[in-house]
Structure 1
Amino acid sequence: MDQFDLLVVGSGPAGRRGAIQAAKLGKRVLVIEQGKRVGGVSVHTGTIPSKTLRETALNLSGWRERGFYGRAYRVKQEISAEDLRRRLLITLDHEVEVLEHQFARNRVQHIRGKASFVDPQTMQVVKDDGEVVTVTAASILLAVGTKPFRPDYMPFDGKTVLDSDELLDIEELPRSMVVIGAGVIGIEYATIFSALDTQVTLIDPKSTMLDFIDKEIVEDFTYQLRDRNMKLLLGQKAEKVERLPNGKVELTLDNGRRLTTDMVLFAAGRMGATDTLNLPAAGLEADARGRLSVNPETFATKVPHIFAAGDVVGFPSLASTSMEQGRIAARVAVGAIAKEPPKYFPYGIYAVPEISTCGLSEEEVKERHIPYECGIARFRETSRGHIMGLDTGLLKMIFSLKTRRLLGVHIVGEGATELVHIGQAVLNLKGTVEYFVENTFNYPTLAEAYKIAGLDAWNRMGDIKSEL
């Protein structure tokens, strides 16, 4: 039986960041990963694969150049599933190599196998060859991530009816696709395949989507999707999904409408991967979706020496926030001081087009009864937008009328997930509208949209500085 200072279950963003943080503090750390290679869901089926798929699709389809050369423009006329997979494998190999090097450099030990609790401080690991190893630790960090929700009524076959993990292994690109679930994952894949000229229909029982995003941004995003002939069937539920003898799939909706398609992607939620951990032996229990409840400041569970971080604790379920959660949890677990992270973090949705947001939405500002003003800039108002051939893209900032401070920044369009960090910095440094009016931005850049939006708001707010 081996004794460690910190035992980490899972090597995704939360697990690897937590393990390396503890190791840098001189602690003895063991990472247990049940997958064939380290990296977790983020590297192998989630964040990195979906974003690599997106970039490959946009490059090969010539999507970014169609503003100049027309909708028929292609970089590669016939795009295959193998074209998409080739770049994906190169990227994943690099990610795994970097992670293994980080573990080696920081002297983090790791083994492959399925872990489960024996008691609150002991876990057994069943390796692929059947060998059982027992390990104990002063503290344990559960960073097991999530897996796709797969209801019994859905006839999954890995070819025509798939979950988001299986989608990465398709053998050919479908001519038509129905995506069930208008959450982040469903929307990302729906728009990526739409960019590949697959006829996409998006279905969700809710009449709205992305409710945590500023409504004006969602409205602009929705317009862009409809403009390229994506079908959005919101407020409708797929009651029956049936594979047909001709290889297609038929869906019957709750309003009686029937759809026939080449492929169905079921992306209506994910489950915490906690079912094999034997949580009762540790005095823990998960909710109906397999998630663990934690203290939001320390990420400790109700068992003080057991921590959880990443997607397994629920919203926001981002790789970026998971890394920070894992780092904080590891510091608390080994008795180090953990500073509270900055208040505002960016949320990125890698759809086509991208969406990114940081701070308060207009709806949240209204709920708090804060007097405010908005500034809007469209990418086509920038010279860089003209150079890139952009006729879409929107940046919105919200300012307090009382303090003139930035309250939120919301972007939809090319490069949104990169551009948002300017707004994030100003938010966390408590900057005002004058920052955007008085500062110089590189020209020509899309970042100029900040100055345009800042001036738009400033003109409405009134001049309180005589020199302006």
Structure 2
Amino acid sequence: MSAYDVVIIGGGPGGYNAAIRAGQLGLKVACVEGRETLGGTCLNVGCMPSKALLHASELYEAALGTEFATLGIEVKPTLNLAQMMKQKNDSVTALTKGIEFLFRKHKVEWIKGWGRLDGVGRVVVALADGSQQELQAKNVVIATGSEPTPLPGVDIDNKRILDSTGALSLPEVPKHLVVIGAGVIGLELGSVWRRLGTEVTVVEYLDRICPGLDEEVGKTLQRSLSKQGMAFRLGSKVTSAKVKAESVELSIEPASGGEAQVLQADYVLVAIGRRPFTEGLGLESVGVVPDRRGMLENNHHAAAVPGIWIIGDVTSGPMLAHKAEDEAIACIERIAGKAAEVNYGVIPNVIYTKPEVASVGKTEEQLKAEGRLYKVGKFPFTANSRAKINHEAEGFVKVLADERSDEILGVHMVGPSVSEMVGEYCVAMEFAASAEDIALICHPHPTRSEALRQAAMGVEGWIMQA
């Protein structure tokens, strides 16, 4: 039986980052992952391939529509969907191979198989050849991630009724795609196919899109996506789906109750969220019990059972790759005897639609519910010179600061490249900066980032560019 300081079950962003950090700290470490490639959902069938298609589809639409023509570039593009999918797959392969290289560099052993707990300090791995390998570990990190949440009455076959994985690899451009769920995954993938020529209808149970978003940002995003041609049916629920030869027939009812309607589509994407993946993990062998939401509870990443650690999507907090990475680092450093902490109040959130959405910290709705007094600074991209020159002046930056101390409490943006700019405010909030601190920092001109400064100026009412 092989013995390790740390065995990590799962090779996604939580697991592979935990393995690399353990290797850096000199721990003997193994990562158990049954996929043919490392990287988990994020690299293989999630974040990375979706970004490849978002980028490609944005360029295609820019060339196909008026954007290129306005710039004086006259082309007649032809969509080669097979090549678009190939470049996506090639990029993903390069990234997953990169993790294999990092494992070798930091002396991480990748055990290719599916792991389960077999009592405290023991992991049994089912290998591809049908045999089993037993591992002994002083510490076991559970980093098994999440899976798409199923919808009763709508059976996913990844032929006509798709989960996010199926929607990333369609062999044709759908005529009509119905997306069930107006969350991040549904809006991003719906955006891809709409740009490629699909009629897209989004059905959402709630009366708004992306319920965790700042309400003003959510409304702005919905208006923009509607203007681009995406149709929304909010306050609606799908009760059944019947697959026919080349179509799907959906039964849709008002969420509050009422008469059902039939909606026809040639493909349906079920994107109502994700749930922790804990099936077959042998949790009962160590006495770890999921809570009512299926989450595994932890205290500073440690389970109640000594030697068992929990990170990423299987536990509480936002299901985000960078949150899992932060937890991975903190968890391994705690195992190594170091002090480590994750600041859950400063984990950014991004939606990679066009315009993009990025946020960090509290929303206005949360601050109101807490009874906390705050000030608002808001600056539109229509007044930002770089955004106007680039014909991408949709959206705004909004800064929320404490009324008395001026400490930045939350920042919410919708607009061009905001995913790349929110990091400035993450740094500011980690250092408990005030809005005035950002307002007094020189930003390069002309850049979109000037909007960050102008919004901070707006907290005290001295915006200079609008």
State TM-score, norm by structure 1.
Answer: 0.92
Secondary structure in structure 1 of the residue aligned to 2:118: strand
Distance 2:338 2:64 in 1: 47
Identical aligned pairs, as a percentage? 28
Alignment map for 1:21-40 (pairs within 5 Å): 21-40=21-40
Question: What is the CA-CA distance between 1:66 and the residue it aligns to?
Answer: 4.3
Partner of 1:408: 410
Partner of 2:193: 193
Partner of 1:59: 59
Partner of 1:368: 370
Secondary structure in structure 1 of the residue aligned to 2:7: strand
Structure 1 residue identity aligned to 2:163: D
Q: Give the total of aligned pairs.
A: 457
Secondary structure in structure 2 of the residue aligned to 1:227: helix
Partner of 1:263: 267
Q: Is the 8 A contact 2:373 2:403 kept in 1?
A: yes
Question: What is the CA-CA distance between 1:195 and the residue it aligns to?
Answer: 2.6
Question: What is the CA-CA distance between 1:216 and the residue it aligns to?
Answer: 0.9
Partner of 1:218: 218
Q: Does 1:272 align with 2:271?
A: no
Tell me: CA distance 1:354–1:74, structure 2 relative to 1, closer, same or farther (3 Å): farther
CA-to-aligned-CA distance 1:405-463 (integer Å, 9 cap, x gap): 222111112211111112222222222232343332111111111232233332279xx
Q: Is the 8 A contact 1:241 1:250 kept in 2?
A: yes
Q: Is the 8 A contact 1:60 1:74 kept in 2?
A: no
Q: Is the 8 A contact 2:249 2:263 kept in 1?
A: yes
Partner of 2:176: 176
Q: Is the 8 A contact 2:31 2:110 kept in 1?
A: yes
Tell me: CA distance 1:361–1:195, structure 2 relative to 1, closer, same or farther (3 Å): same
Tell me: CA distance 1:41–1:289, structure 2 relative to 1, closer, same or farther (3 Å): farther
Partner of 1:227: 227
Q: Is the 8 A contact 1:347 1:358 kept in 2?
A: yes
Q: Is the 8 A contact 2:397 2:413 kept in 1?
A: yes
Partner of 2:153: 153
Distance 1:18 1:177 in 2: 38
Structure 2 residue identity aligned to 1:285: V
Tell me: CA distance 1:234–1:417, structure 2 relative to 1, closer, same or farther (3 Å): same
Tell me: CA distance 1:53–1:289, structure 2 relative to 1, closer, same or farther (3 Å): farther
Distance 2:314 2:74 in 1: 40
Partner of 2:108: 108
Distance 1:140 1:319 in 2: 20
Distance 1:454 1:6 in 2: 45
- Which of 323, 326, 343 lines up with 2:325 in the alignment? 323
Q: Is the 8 A contact 1:382 1:448 kept in 2?
A: yes
Greater shift, 395-404 or 143-152, is seen at 143-152
Partner of 1:294: 298
Tell me: CA distance 1:42–1:407, structure 2 relative to 1, closer, same or farther (3 Å): same
Distance 1:320 1:326 in 2: 10
Question: What is the CA-CA distance between 1:261 and the residue it aligns to?
Answer: 1.1
Distance 2:409 2:437 in 1: 13
CA-to-aligned-CA distance 1:325-371 (integer Å, 9 cap, x gap): 01111222343332454841211122232111011211122223233
Question: What is the CA-CA distance between 1:288 and the residue it aligns to?
Answer: 5.3
CA-to-aligned-CA distance 1:178-212 (integer Å, 9 cap, x gap): 00112221122122222323111111212223222
CA-to-aligned-CA distance 1:385-409 (integer Å, 9 cap, x gap): 1211124121111122211222211
Distance 1:113 1:437 in 2: 52
Which runs of 5 or more structure 2 residues have no equivalent in the other structure? 254-258
Distance 1:81 1:290 in 2: 38
Alignment map for 1:456-467 (pairs within 5 Å): 456-459=458-461
Greater shift, 312-321 or 3-12, is seen at 312-321
Distance 1:437 1:319 in 2: 31
Distance 1:147 1:342 in 2: 22
Secondary structure in structure 1 of the residue aligned to 2:460: helix
Distance 1:151 1:342 in 2: 30
Structure 2 residue identity aligned to 1:112: K
Distance 1:63 1:138 in 2: 56
Q: Is the 8 A contact 1:80 1:172 kept in 2?
A: no
Partner of 2:256: none
Q: Does 1:142 align with 2:146?
A: no
Tell me: CA distance 1:271–1:341, structure 2 relative to 1, closer, same or farther (3 Å): closer
Structure 2 residue identity aligned to 1:257: Q
Structure 1 residue identity aligned to 2:329: R
Partner of 2:334: 332
Structure 2 residue identity aligned to 1:426: A
Alignment map for 1:399-438 (pairs within 5 Å): 399-438=401-440
Secondary structure in structure 1 of the residue aligned to 2:16: helix
Secondary structure in structure 1 of the residue aligned to 2:15: helix
Q: Which fold has the larger relative contact order, with Cα–Cα distance below 8 Å and residues 6 or more apart in sequence?
A: 1
CA-to-aligned-CA distance 1:25-49 (integer Å, 9 cap, x gap): 2111011001011111111011111
Tell me: CA distance 1:286–1:252, structure 2 relative to 1, closer, same or farther (3 Å): same
Partner of 1:249: 248
Structure 2 residue identity aligned to 1:414: P
Distance 2:64 2:347 in 1: 28
Q: Does 1:311 align with 2:310?
A: no
Distance 1:36 1:206 in 2: 38
Structure 2 residue identity aligned to 1:443: H
CA-to-aligned-CA distance 1:84-107 (integer Å, 9 cap, x gap): 212211211221121111110110
Structure 2 residue identity aligned to 1:241: A
Q: Is the 8 A contact 1:117 1:279 kept in 2?
A: yes
C-alpha RMSD of the superposition: 2.2
Greater shift, 451-460 or 92-101, is seen at 451-460
Alignment map for 1:379-394 (pairs within 5 Å): 379-394=381-396
Alignment map for 1:433-444 (pairs within 5 Å): 433-444=435-446
Greater shift, 432-441 or 107-116, is seen at 432-441
Structure 2 residue identity aligned to 1:344: V
Secondary structure in structure 1 of the residue aligned to 2:325: helix
Tell me: CA distance 1:278–1:74, structure 2 relative to 1, closer, same or farther (3 Å): farther
Q: Is the 8 A contact 1:20 1:108 kept in 2?
A: yes
Secondary structure in structure 2 of the residue aligned to 1:115: strand
Partner of 1:127: 127
Distance 1:359 1:75 in 2: 43
Partner of 1:354: 356
Distance 1:106 1:16 in 2: 11
Greater shift, 206-215 or 451-460, is seen at 451-460
Q: Is the 8 A contact 2:140 2:309 kept in 1?
A: yes
Secondary structure in structure 2 of the residue aligned to 1:280: helix
Q: Is the 8 A contact 2:38 2:99 kept in 1?
A: yes
Distance 1:158 1:148 in 2: 12
